[in-house]
Structure 1
């Protein structure tokens, strides 16, 4: 699969499989195409070549069919996206009111259940301005889970959070994935916080996937490019300015997929 933004190729030769029930971490430096890959999974960006499948079907291009597919995909944005004039509970209720015909009392109970799942049941009547950064991120997570999506996408979930709040969010992601039977894709540049909860890891750089494997395999790698990324070294195979990476060739790799597990998403 190849993903372009205008005339510029962001990622090429992508071969990605996300097994059901797993947590897949997509790591890489800023500007390496991580969020672009998420945009392809949600149908926001059509691939310039190749195809994307979610739940065993190609991501549709027709608007109505795409909206139906997106009901099964929860997305946690790095900016939270909470509406400031609504309480935490009203924010969580938005997807339920927009996409279901449930009576208000049922919606109220579901909202409390979702907030309870992220440890914020008592915050239902608070406005976003009354929440800490970590609390606001958890409310946004509760809203993303409102329709019980089988697939969760996290776009830089730790942006702007302190180390304690970051630990809480990552622990919550792992717990929810296990207890709710979700498949999760986490896009992040926070390596140390993300690796402990990931089942498989992909690293994007120089317009491609340069590593695919387990967290242990990543940390054991002696590849100069991967060592540079993991250690945060300014000089090395990864160019600091993404635009200057055009002269580099990516070395794509395909993540291993358990044979008994049907993938939640595929990109080829």
Structure 2
């Protein structure tokens, strides 16, 4: 992959689930070092897009490339690719019977042969990076929602992935914790040289840290550009979404929704 090649590239992609087309005509380049916000109403297909990037969902048409190569279908090659992708799920996924440090150590123990003293040092470094080194011995039940999200972020960073994917990172967080998480995403992206894709419907919290923004609605990308271009767009799809208007070109009836994004 050349220095100028995008970290992720989708070309003419169509994504189907359950025999129905969820997204179609997707063309997307994610530049190295950028934070790309993928915005849209619930059920618009944002998580389906992430599933294609991580190889969980094979496109019905078109190509998905990550790190300059088509996403492989063979299991071993796909597992190798996924080691380079850190994923922060909206539910955190922390194991409740393990401490914060033990949760962060999980991918290191599963995917490396590093000795325990080295793993312990790396875990301390990752927790320090998210401002939680002092919480190493706490269990998930002893953490606030924002702290638990940061522990999950430290775990996602454990293998030093060049690409980070965030699936609704602000779900269930109060405004202060949301601000902390988004500022942390920006800082880590810059200091660690990451590339980040942030799927969210929290527009006003996400846009300030993003370099590029997409809006997905009605099965396609209805906007792609900078956050400032998004905020000044007169496109009816974009205006309806940004203003939270119930009536407009974006359908909100339950029958039209086929998956939760």
Q: TM-score, normalised by structure 1?
A: 0.90
User: What residue number does 1:28 align with?
Assistant: 40
**Alpha-carbon distance in 1 for matches of 2:71, 2:253:** 32
* Structure 2 residue matching 1:146: 3-state secondary structure: coil
Is residue 214–residue 225 contact of structure 2 (8 Å, CA) maintained in 1? yes
Q: Contact 2:43 / 2:257 at 8 angstroms: preserved in 1?
A: no
**Higher RCO, 1 or 2 (CA under 8 Å, sep at least 6)?**
1
**Residue 170 in structure 1 maps to residue 196 in structure 2:** no
Q: Which SS does the other structure have where 1:225 is aligned?
A: helix
Match of 1:74 in 2: 86
Deviations 1:126-164 (A, max 9, x none): 000000000000000000000000000000000000000
Given the alignment, which residue of 177, 189, 213 partners 1:201? 213
* Correspondence 1:105 to 2:117: yes
Q: Tell me the TM-score normalised to structure 2 length.
A: 0.93
Q: Is the 8 A contact 2:41 2:217 kept in 1?
A: yes
Structure 1 gaps of 5+ residues are 247-268
Task: Describe the superposition over 1:39-91 as per-residue Cα deviations: whole angstroms up to 9, x where unpaired.
Answer: 00000000000110000000000111100000000000000000001000000
Distance 2:169 2:253 in 1: 23
Structure-2 residue corresponding to 1:241 = 253
SS state at 1:138 partner: helix
Residue 260 (structure 1) aligns with: none
Shift of 1:6: 1.7
SS in structure 2 at match of 1:80: coil
Structure 2 unaligned regions, length at least 5? 1-12
Given candidates 124, 131, 152, the residue that maps to 2:164 is 152
2:152 matched residue in structure 1: 140
For residues 70 and 11 of structure 1, what CA distance do their matches in structure 2 show? 23
- Which consecutive aligned stretches of 4+ in structure 1 deviate over 4 angstroms post-superposition? none
Correspondence for 1:117: 129
Shift of 1:242: 5.9
Match among 84, 88, 111 for residue 100 of structure 2: 88
Maintained 8 Å contact 1:238/1:245: no
Aligned positions, number: 246
Deviation at 1:3, TM superposition (A): 0.2
Aligned to 2:4: none
Equivalent residue for 1:56, pick from 65, 68, 82: 68
Residue aligned with 2:57, SS? coil
The residue aligned with 1:254 is none
